[in-house]
Amino acid sequence: MFRRAVRVLLTLVMIGSAALAGTVVTAGTAHADGCYTWNRTLSQGSSGEDVRQLQIRVAGYPGYGAVLAIDGEYGPATAAAVTRFQQAYGLGADGVAGDQTFNKIYALQDNDCTPIHFTYGEMNRCNTSWSGGAVSASQARANALVGMWKLEALRHALGDRPLTTSSGFRSYACNNAAGGSATSRHLYGDGIDLTGTPTFCQIVRQARYHGFREILGPGYSGHDDHAHLAHRSSRFWSAPSCGI
């Protein structure tokens, strides 16, 4: 995000210099972002890597109980997620991803593509390699990135209150040491434990709207002292003390 501001400033200086020198300046760098820059407006029917990158950023807006596919195909579900993202940030909500939407994403992301309120470091307190889990290191890291964008949406929906993570990716060794289940989603990089505030019940209730198929909280065995959010193939929500 910061580097983008510097680049814009540099661009303006360069435009000024070029104008003085009487040379032609082509536009296009004004939106350069340190992580990823979109170069076209995206809407239903679009496909490609730029759509996939967009889907990662709006993965936290699939609607209640749903999960957005990160497949590079801009279908109705992606349009609906973009609309919810736009509504959440007070943008014109048309389900089309153009400059307004991309600029909001640029403002929300760091140069390593994580959302500004979360880091790869806090998503992996086990090792620095992301290896030793149930999937490849690159897959675990990619899963964690999507999880962080879901957390960013959850955080915003809960009133922009800070969320405190206590565990993310775990290798089998780290998972055994933590007493995690042998099939724990922490082994895949998308399991996230939250402590602190808001209350665990507030977190797990709201998480149902933000793309988490696995939600465990108070009343579920071993989850009275944290909220656990993750991805999985089919829905498994249990937090009996919260009415879930």
Q: Which residues are catalytic?
A: 223
Q: Which stretch binds Zn ion (CB under 5 A): 1-9, 122-130, 136-144, 186-194?
A: 186-194
Q: How far is CA 76 from CA 62, 63, 79, 110, 213, in A?
A: 11, 12, 5, 28, 20
Determine the angle formed by the axes of helices 49-57 and 137-157, rounding to 10 degrees.
50
* Separation CA 159–CA 155 (nearest Å): 7
Q: How far is CA 147 from CA 59, 170, 195, 213, in A?
A: 8, 14, 16, 11
Look up residue 209 and give its two tokens: 């709207």
* Of 4 and 228, CB closest to Zn ion: 228
* Of 129 and 183, CB closest to Zn ion: 183
Q: Which of 170, 228, 231, 239 binds Zn ion (CB under 5 A)?
A: 228
- Closest approach, Cβ 212 to Zn ion, in A, equals 12
Closest by CA position to 174, among listed 123, 230, 126? 126
Q: Which stretch binds Zn ion (CB under 5 A): 120-128, 131-139, 207-215, 226-234?
A: 226-234
* Separation CA 68–CA 133 (nearest Å): 24
Does position 50 bind Zn ion by CB under 5 A? no
Q: Report how many residues bind Zn ion under the rule CB under 5 A.
A: 3
* Of 208 and 228, CB closest to Zn ion: 228
Residue 185 per-residue DSSP state? G
* Of 57 and 228, CB closest to Zn ion: 228
Does position 231 bind Zn ion by CB under 5 A? no
DSSP H or E segment with residue 237: strand 236-238
Does position 214 bind Zn ion by CB under 5 A? no
Does position 193 bind Zn ion by CB under 5 A? yes
- Closest approach, Cβ 193 to Zn ion, in A, equals 4
Residues at the contact surface with Zn ion, assessed by CB under 5 A: 191, 193, 228
